[in-house]
Chain A
Amino acid sequence: MDFLRPTTLAEALAVKAERPDAVPIAGGTDVMVELNFDHRRPAALLDLTRIDELRTWSDGDELRIGSGVPYVRIIEELGAQLPGLAMASRTVGSPQIRNRGTVGGNLGAASPAGDTHPVLLASDAVIEVASVRGTRMIEADDFYVGVKRNSLEPDELITAIHLAPAAGPQQFSKVGTRNAMVIAVCSFALSLHPGEKRVGAAVGSAAPTPRRARDAEEFLNHALDFDNPRPLLDSVKREFGELVSQAASPIDDVRGSAAYRKHALAVMARRTLGWTWQEFLTEEQACA
Chain B
Amino acid sequence: MRVNVTVNGEQRQADDVWEGESLLFMLRERLGLPGSKNACEQGECGSCTVYLDDVPVCSCLVAAGQAQDRSVRTVEGLASGDSLDPVQEAFVEAGAVQCGFCTPGLVVAAHDLLERVPSPSDPEIREALAGNLCRCTGYEKIMDAVRLAAGRR
Q: Is residue B41 within 8 Å, beta carbon to beta carbon, of the partner chain?
A: yes
Q: A3-B19, A96-B58, A100-B57 are in contact. Are A181 and B66 (CB under 8 A)?
A: no
CB distance from A272 to the nearest CB of B (A): 22
A1-29 near B? 1/0 per residue, CB < 8 Å: 11101000000000000000000010111
**Total interface residues on A, using CB and 8 Å?**
30
- Beyond A35-B20, A35-B63, 14 additional pairs, beta carbon < 8 A: A1-B20, A5-B68, A25-B66, A28-B66, A31-B63, A32-B63, A33-B42, A33-B43, A36-B41, A93-B43, A96-B43, A99-B57, A181-B44, A181-B130
Partner of B18, one of A1, A25, A29, A32: A1
A97 pairs with B43, CB closer than 8 A: yes
Q: Is residue A47 within 8 Å, beta carbon to beta carbon, of the partner chain?
A: yes
A39-57 near B? 1/0 per residue, CB < 8 Å: 0011011010100000000
Q: A3-B19, A94-B130 are in contact. Are A36 and B60 (CB under 8 A)?
A: yes
Q: Is residue A282 within 8 Å, beta carbon to beta carbon, of the partner chain?
A: no
Point out the residues of chain B lying under 8 angstroms from A1, CB to CB.
18-20
Interface on B for A, CB 8 Å cutoff? 1, 18-20, 22, 41-44, 46, 49, 55-58, 60-63, 65-66, 68, 109, 127-128, 130-132
Determine the distance from Cα of A100 to Cα of B61 in the docked complex, in whole angstroms: 9
Point out the residues of chain A lying under 8 angstroms from B66, CB to CB.
25, 28, 47, 49
Determine the distance from Cα of A99 to Cα of B116 in the docked complex, in whole angstroms: 14
Point out the residues of chain B lying under 8 angstroms from A180, CB to CB.
127, 130-131
